[in-house]
Structure 1
Amino acid sequence: MTFQPLDEETALEAVQALQEHGSKRAAAIALGISRSTFRNRIKSAEKQGLTGRVPKAPEGFELKQLSEQIGKDGQVKSTSVKYTHEVGQEFKLPAGRFIGKVTTQVGASGEIEKEWIRHDWDKLTPFQVVELTKDFVKTLPWTRLKAFPAQHTENENLLTIYPLADLHLSLRATAEESGEDYDLERAQNLFNEKSAQIIQKSPKGGTALVAYLGDWTHQDDDKNMTPRSGHILEVSSSIFRAVRAGVQLAILHTYRCLAHHEKVIIKVVRGNHDLHSWIGLCLALQEHFRNEPRVTVDTSEADYWFCRWGMNLIGLHHGHRMKPEEMAGSMATECAKDWGETYYRLFLHGHLHHHIAKDVLGVHVECMRTIAPPDAHHSGKYNSPRSLISITLDKEEGEQSRASVNLKPIRRKAVSLEAA
């Protein structure tokens, strides 16, 4: 039997009843309908992507199986979704895909009961891959988040920079090796907590510049090696899960900024760990906020990026291709006109995982700390303080204030030989 989609209002009514009453039986009684009718309404809501648990099913498909892994804290850690063709529906190949192999189970009356399709992705052009990525982003449940107007419209001369460096999503560290456990789930929880705190500590209103300074993910592909030097990486998850988590974190962070500031400008620069995967973050953010006039995503490919805010000239770079003392010269060479017209110059980078600040040729060059702990390779060498900061600039008067959120330092205990 094929369930016809309900109108969105009726489907949402069922979802809200289930959330309010906690069980399908209680929700069905509250709505005055049978349990089977209620189950059909929830199934239709799932198919339309209205429950927030699964993406909307592609046209001609229906939800077959939903599996959720629950963590010790009772929260959903991961979700697995399987779709199948609607029974009796005419088969339509999703746009941009090519059939490699198909196995079909047909019922006695000729309708499709089950189907297994192997898609041949190798025939896709780069353009088709980009388009499919955009279509995928549109179906994700968190695309239903809305941008609420900022509550404060003053401070239009202020620009608050949120430098986000070296999160290394999917890095694996253990307490025995590094003094602290770290994996993809812990990284997400840590960033969600600390990034929300730094926004609340920053001045309200004005414009936000969210600067992703590279190494957002720990690995660039499933080889689990740095792309250029080939160093073996200890990872806690696949590149797919790392990129997906990175996109989700970045989208949520943008919505939080929109609730605090009038406008948000986003710039993603590549690092030596995410040499290619940064593209996914950049394009996903551009696609997600394509209809939001208060968000601008800069998609230029340059490793070194410069922007101007009144009398302030700002540069961004990961730090893997240029020494800090060379960054001032790069700014003067590439932005000669803006260099001559500005009073205050700031160049931000990451890569080194600890704070360094120096004034070079009239430019304040500053290396950002990370909130990620060291992995086994760096343990004992770079246990520098960890923090997130924001820097607020005035168009005419330069830097006005800073906010910071600090993490407790890693402390290890020496083994007592006397007790051995």
Structure 2
Amino acid sequence: MTMAIDQTLLSYSTARQREYLEAIETHGSERKAAEAMGVARGTLSNAIAALKAKSAKMGYAPDCDMTHIVPDGFRVRGVSTYYDDEGKPRGQWVKSVEDRDRMEVIMREAFAAMAETLPRVHAAPGPVKVDESLCNLYTFTDSHVGALAWHREGGHDWDLKIAEQTLVAAFAHMVQAAPSAKVGFINQLGDFLHSDGSNGLMPVTPMHGHILDQDGRYAKVVATAIRVLRRIVDFALEKHEQVVVLLAEGNHDISSSIWLRAMFSALYENEPRVTVIQSELPYYVYQHGKTMLAFHHGHLRKNQDLPLLFAAQFPKVWGETTKRVCHVGHRHHTEEKEHSGMTVVQHPTLAARDAYAARGGWFAERSATVISYHTEYGQVARNTVCPEMFEEAA
């Protein structure tokens, strides 16, 4: 005796669960199927139960009169079924909510596909002479491209035009002031975009949905962000033999950081002098001789916790280095302190205070810094810029 497979249920199954379903169909029961496959009946039953639980989250549980499936990227939050006097379902209300884990998978796939169609940048000639022992670390954090700030609230204006002019001018100045190092490391440390676009393109924070002051539509924000980063990378290629690009995850641009990494990896895949750091975790590391450079936006772990985290996660790099520095942002102000064998440098932002920061009473000097690291001696030079330098020049 055979049992027909529920084809809808089959569409949610893993390869192993599919084997179990096919065995049940062939042998007529879970007990016989388990015996034929040489597994415990409980193992098979648990696998089928897990499959049914998964399909129920998508709105499919026919034993409970749930047959309305929600789209991919969502999960069922609740189902209300109305029955007639004979106990037959007459109507149903299905409430769904975004499935963040699945949505992230979908977005990663979309970003990778998008990057496949981008025109590639061809290799360009590098500088004639560089210092082989140096790495210049150009740090930009919390740039909040797309934010809208008003000087009567926060002291300074900030919009898409100002952000682009300020960031490009700051980088050009730092490149000119820094030594001719072999490696130019573009440390974009997170919150580069003010909003993420993951909540229906609305200007809200991705995790909590807080409303943000934004200048223009998300498409304009994206175009400006890409244009700024392209110019920065191209400037760096003129100065340095090797260019390393970090596009870190921040709490404002969790998904945007994913497509930025995918896009810039594709854009410069034909330029062997450019390396875009790829990491699924928001903890990044780069080894320059005896110097360990670690990076985290700062939204998930406190500064004093980072040294032990990086020692545990990157033990080989930790063991091969004697100078260790972790760079963070997130808090929009400067702090530098040694913790457990590593100096943690908290960087400020070039962006102006928005209404939220102004009303909260938070003040901080606005600046960006290029730090030069030696393969043997660690930090050997530092140069800082502030927005006022470029306002006067204009």
Normalising by structure 2, what TM-score? 0.68
How many residues end up aligned between the 2 structures? 281
Letter in 1 for 2:144: H
The Cα of 1:383 is off from its aligned counterpart by 2.6
Say whether residues 1:214 and 2:214 are aligned partners. no
Matched, 1:163 2:139: yes
> Is 2:377 aligned against 1:397?
yes
* Displacement after TM superposition at 1:334 (Å): 1.4
1:198 paired to 2:174: yes
Question: In 2, Cα distance between the equivalents of 1:283 and 1:147?
Answer: 19
1:386 aligns with 2:366: yes
Tell me the SS of whatever aligns to 2:285. strand
Q: Which runs of 5+ in 2 are unaligned?
A: 1-105, 390-394
> Which shows bigger deviation, 333-342 or 311-320?
333-342
* Contact 1:172–1:182, Cα closer than 8 Å, also in 2: yes
| Percent identity of equivalent pairs | 29
Shift of 1:131: 5.5
Deviation, 1:323, is 0.5
Instruction: Tell me the alpha carbon deviations over residues 228-266 of structure 1, each in whole angstroms, 9 at most, x when there is no partner.
Output: 122211111222221221111111101100100111011
Secondary structure (helix, strand or coil) at the match of 1:177 reads: helix
Check whether the contact 2:111–2:258 (CA below 8 A) recurs between aligned residues.
no
2:291–2:322: 8 Å Cα contact kept in structure 1?
A: yes
Q: CA deviation at 1:319?
A: 0.3
| Structure 2 residue corresponding to 1:350, chosen from 322, 329, 352 | 329
Q: What is the distance in 1 between the residues matched to 2:348 and 2:190?
A: 12
Change (3 A) 1:127 1:199: closer
| Structure 1 residue matching 2:181: 3-state secondary structure | coil
Alignment match of 1:232 (pick from 198, 201, 211): 211
Residue number in structure 2 paired with 1:272: 251
- Deviation string for 1:328-370 (max 9, x for gaps)? 1111211223223311000001100111100111211011111
Query: Greater shift after overlay, 149-158 or 129-138?
Result: 129-138
2:130·2:240 contact (CA, 8 Å) conserved in 1?
no
Q: 1:131 to 1:347 in 2, by over 3 A?
A: closer
8 Å Cα contact 1:171/1:182 also seen in 2 = yes
2:163 pairs, out of 156, 164, 187, with 187
| In structure 1, distance between residues paired with 2:330 and 2:388 | 21
Separation of aligned partners in 2, 1:127 and 1:212: 20
8 Å contact from structure 2 (residues 297, 329) kept in 1: yes
| 1:18-417 equivalence runs, <5 A | 129-130=110-111, 133-134=114-115, 137-138=118-119, 148-221=124-197, 222-379=201-358, 381-408=361-388
Give the 4+ runs in structure 1 shifted more than 4 A: 125-128
Q: Is the 8 A contact 1:349 1:368 kept in 2?
A: yes
- Structure 1 residue 408 displacement after superposition: 3.1
Which structure dedicates a bigger proportion of its chain to helix?
A: 2
- Is 1:150–1:205's contact at 8 Å kept on the other side of the alignment? no
**Alpha carbons of 1:223 and 1:366: their partners in 2 closer, same or farther (altered >3 Å)?**
same
Q: In 1, distance between residues paired with 2:257 and 2:337?
A: 28
Deviations 1:92-145 (A, max 9, x none): xxxxxxxxxxxxxxxxxxxxxxxxxxxxxxxxx76873365225532xxxx77x
How far, CA to CA, are the matches of 1:266 and 1:127 in structure 2?
A: 19
Q: Give the counterpart letter for 1:279 in structure 2.
A: I
Asked if 2 retains the 8 angstrom alpha-carbon contact of 1:152 and 1:204, the reply is no
For 1:18-50, what per-residue CA distance to the aligned partner results, in whole angstroms no more than 9, with x for missing partners? xxxxxxxxxxxxxxxxxxxxxxxxxxxxxxxxx
1:263 partner amino acid: Q
The Cα offsets for residues 63-95 of structure 1, whole Å up to 9 and x where unpaired, read as: xxxxxxxxxxxxxxxxxxxxxxxxxxxxxxxxx
Change in 2 beyond 3 A, CA 1:342/1:132: closer
Q: Aligned letter for 1:407? A: P
Q: Residues 366 and 131 from structure 1, CA distance in 2 versus in 1: closer, same or farther, beyond 3 angstroms?
A: closer
What is the alpha-carbon distance in structure 2 between the residues aligned to residue 379 and residue 182 of structure 1? 13
Q: Computing the radius of gyration over CA atoms, which structure comes out larger, 1 or 2?
A: 2
CA distance in 2 between partners of 1:131 and 1:398 (Å)? 36
CA distance in 1: counterparts of 2:320 and 2:159, whole angstroms: 46
Separation (CA, whole Å) in 1 of partners of 2:113 and 2:319: 44
Q: The residue matched to 2:230 in structure 1 has which SS?
A: helix
- 1:137 and 1:185, CA in 2 relative to 1: closer, same or farther beyond 3 A? farther
Q: Which amino acid aligns with 2:293?
A: I
Give 2:222's aligned amino acid: V
Q: C-alpha distance in 1, partners of 2:381/2:241? A: 18
Residues 358 and 365 in structure 1, CA contact (< 8 A), matched pair in contact too: yes
